[in-house]
Structure 1
């Protein structure tokens, strides 16, 4: 375990972020590979992939809600040097994630014909969507297990091994995508379904790698049969933070789902294909953002668990400055590279035009998104997840979604401009909420092992 309770906070952020940036590059390569080869199948295939994104992100949000709870409890236990607690929470958190993910698989397989037409899939794209998602749902456990178990390692300050896991996944996906999609080396040409098969196979080997690291290197997996009361206690602690955490993760995906449906109504298949391509390119910009974001819970959690509240406030103030600087810097970069990157995936002039509009407005919104996401992660780390949920739910329903709807009545451009404006407004509002709630939690948390009484307080 890396001790984050002493030393330079800036150095800790950088040291934790760099491997995550490397993992982010690998993950972006993973996604871009899918988009590049599926793009060779035509605009309809790209549009079909665009319809899958919201559902895949929602599925990931459910599992990441659980990992949010696991990371919060685990990082604070690490701050108190409670190794028995760390092992129990990591193991029980994985079991809980498995139960929920398998439920989601059954639900997803049984609702494809009803759900995707609601998002705008038509008689041409729906069969392609089903080809992809039938494989993805069947392999959802191995697809989502690497990020779930990687989060447990990040909670204790290890970001290097999750980077290795993503390299394994990305490398295999680059090799397998053309083989499965186009039928190289004697394999049958599976089209868009081949992209899903490549994803499942590469994530399977990633799952084996990450479980090896978690179990044998960090010794955080306990396969002995726990008492039912012990298991329920762990799950209760995780879900107290994880259930609001699911909401925190789900609201952005709900927004993305609505964006996809509105894009289909405003610009048809070309607009949905543009969002599919733009989302992949957007992943490059997200790399630095995700790298810094990955450092928040372990640093804040360990220092909070050790009662070092001044260091927590320093983290908060640094993050707000970084959020604005990275958002503006990303916007400048995307203006230069958007067109050449887009041309790698499609030559359709209508799709290219939509992608350029999408990227430029989405990057403006990143300033606000960084602010409310990072302030929310700091609140998650100290158990104040309900406030993170309030920021995301209130911001989505009361600010971002209304502006998105109003803009869609005018044009594709105004739709994205409305979303960007909403994100910036919510982001700056979250600065004040984050400061107030962390100060309030500190005043209530003078007794070690308790979180603030106003949040439904429980002993950790």
Structure 2
């Protein structure tokens, strides 16, 4: 029988995890369809998604701060202030999106000239990304509203919205890419249009809900500049951290790429599979941020610590079980993505190693969420940046040059995951995060 704390944690974490999972599914569906058009089509969309990933990393500048500030107000039962803050950060995120929209629409060609040598990929990529850029205003605002819903303890509404958006995107993409259902065959342009329409529909659904009477968080139309400043003060370190993390992963891929196409392909197959294991981790991170923020907002730091420890236990069980599957059945998992024997062997090596890191990875996910939820975003910036660069990237590069064996690169990753979990645990037990004023 589940206790009340466990039920509350799962009610937040499971919908959040499913929302993240469905976001990945939407991208995979588009990529699978474009894979049937041409290699250039899938390459242009793939590069676009890489830059969109960087944009999402930058959005942490206001999304994390929004979660922290609004969860505190919800915990303190200052609902009007929470509502005004949600409106204020949504307006700010709209203004922030404008330069990115202009750059994406008018200068996307140069992005693809830098990333791709093929004229066809450059042409298709510009076509795809310029359409996608027109969605940036709603993407930025939606991220702010999504964070506000999570902070209020409502992760079910975002899940319902992403389900509807996914269905719309899949149907439209199938019609517009291949010319089905009476639509013209637009291929890459069709994929971009389908994605853009689904993004706008998703945004308008958020607007409808947040202005309804039954929503846990609602817009109150008063712009509070001080609340925006407060959010940015907390959020800028997180945005910087996630952007650095994004680039560090690109550099890690570069180290792996030196071992050849099969190793690189195996790594990407393994990473896709591991990404499914990340979903519970993301869900529990959101649960940790929300419950810790609300507990501290209600001046109950002891309850915040109780929630944190309980979330660690549950997340470790979920991700630990997934790790067992990765260690025992890696070949069968890899065969879902490829039938190339050498690629399966390389993916299996990666999966066996990361399978053994799933529990410390779960601890790292949750404790990062705890510290961010408390407002200790500078602490997570320092820890995660130090860990990725000093404990992973640099050792991986050195070991790679000394031994010339991919196993030692993965060994650096393995050790870094354990060491980072230990460092985060030290700062968690130290307890300074309980005293942060927001």
Instruction: Give the structure 2 partner of residue 330 of structure 1.
Output: 322
One of 284, 294, 307 as aligned partner of 1:292: 284
User: Which runs of 5 or more residues in structure 1 are unaligned?
Assistant: 1-6, 446-450, 453-459
1:245 aligns with 2:238: yes
Instruction: Give the structure 1 partner of residue 210 of structure 2.
Output: 214
One of 418, 421, 427 as aligned partner of 1:427: 421
Instruction: Give the structure 2 partner of residue 3 of structure 1.
Output: none
SS of match in other structure, 1:212? helix
- CA apart distance, 1:105: 2.9
CA distance, structure 1, for counterparts of residue 84 and residue 386 of structure 2:
34
1:97 aligns with 2:93: yes
After superposition, the Cα gap between the structure-2 partners of 1:303 and 1:214, relative to the gap in structure 1 and judged at 3 Å, is: same
- The answer on whether the counterparts of 1:17 and 1:295 sit within 8 Å (CA) in structure 2 is yes
Instruction: Give the structure 1 partner of residue 365 of structure 2.
Output: 373
- TM-score, length of structure 2 as denominator length: 0.86
CA distance, structure 2, for counterparts of residue 423 and residue 152 of structure 1:
30
Higher mean C-alpha displacement, 250-259 vs 274-283? 274-283
CA distance, structure 2, for counterparts of residue 115 and residue 213 of structure 1:
36
Q: Report Cα offsets for 1:323-370 as digits up to 9, x if no partner.
A: 444443222223566555555555555655554455444544544443
SS of match in other structure, 1:246? helix
- The answer on whether the counterparts of 2:12 and 2:153 sit within 8 Å (CA) in structure 1 is yes
1:232 aligns with 2:194: no
- CA apart distance, 1:8: 3.2
- The answer on whether the counterparts of 1:278 and 1:359 sit within 8 Å (CA) in structure 2 is yes
- CA apart distance, 1:209: 1.1
- CA apart distance, 1:279: 4.6
- CA apart distance, 1:110: 5.6
Instruction: Give the structure 2 partner of residue 157 of structure 1.
Output: 153
Aligned pairs for 1:29-40 (under 5 A) are 29-40=25-36
One of 77, 85, 92 as aligned partner of 2:73: 77
CA distance, structure 2, for counterparts of residue 128 and residue 331 of structure 1:
39
Higher mean C-alpha displacement, 339-348 vs 100-109? 339-348
Instruction: Give the structure 2 partner of residue 448 of structure 1.
Output: none
- The answer on whether the counterparts of 1:112 and 1:130 sit within 8 Å (CA) in structure 2 is yes
- CA apart distance, 1:80: 1.0
After superposition, the Cα gap between the structure-2 partners of 1:414 and 1:197, relative to the gap in structure 1 and judged at 3 Å, is: farther
- The answer on whether the counterparts of 2:94 and 2:138 sit within 8 Å (CA) in structure 1 is no
Give the alignment's Cα RMSD to 1 decimal.
Answer: 3.1
Q: Report Cα offsets for 1:32-84 as digits up to 9, x if no partner.
A: 31232233346565555544444222211122331110111101111111122
Aligned pairs for 1:436-447 (under 5 A) are 436=430, 439-442=431-434, 445=435
After superposition, the Cα gap between the structure-2 partners of 1:305 and 1:390, relative to the gap in structure 1 and judged at 3 Å, is: same
After superposition, the Cα gap between the structure-2 partners of 1:214 and 1:319, relative to the gap in structure 1 and judged at 3 Å, is: same
- CA apart distance, 1:97: 1.8
Instruction: Give the structure 2 partner of residue 258 of structure 1.
Output: 251
1:301 aligns with 2:266: no
- CA apart distance, 1:153: 0.9
SS of match in other structure, 1:296? helix
SS of match in other structure, 1:184? coil
CA distance, structure 2, for counterparts of residue 313 and residue 174 of structure 1:
42
After superposition, the Cα gap between the structure-2 partners of 1:38 and 1:174, relative to the gap in structure 1 and judged at 3 Å, is: same
Aligned pairs for 1:48-67 (under 5 A) are 48-67=44-63
CA distance, structure 2, for counterparts of residue 201 and residue 277 of structure 1:
30
- The answer on whether the counterparts of 1:146 and 1:203 sit within 8 Å (CA) in structure 2 is no
CA distance, structure 1, for counterparts of residue 30 and residue 222 of structure 2:
40
- CA apart distance, 1:430: 1.2
Instruction: Give the structure 2 partner of residue 457 of structure 1.
Output: none
- The answer on whether the counterparts of 1:51 and 1:260 sit within 8 Å (CA) in structure 2 is no
CA distance, structure 2, for counterparts of residue 44 and residue 265 of structure 1:
23
- The answer on whether the counterparts of 1:143 and 1:200 sit within 8 Å (CA) in structure 2 is no
CA distance, structure 2, for counterparts of residue 277 and residue 193 of structure 1:
27
- The answer on whether the counterparts of 1:376 and 1:434 sit within 8 Å (CA) in structure 2 is no
Higher mean C-alpha displacement, 275-284 vs 307-316? 275-284
1:178 aligns with 2:174: yes
After superposition, the Cα gap between the structure-2 partners of 1:335 and 1:193, relative to the gap in structure 1 and judged at 3 Å, is: farther
After superposition, the Cα gap between the structure-2 partners of 1:222 and 1:136, relative to the gap in structure 1 and judged at 3 Å, is: same
Higher mean C-alpha displacement, 343-352 vs 213-222? 343-352
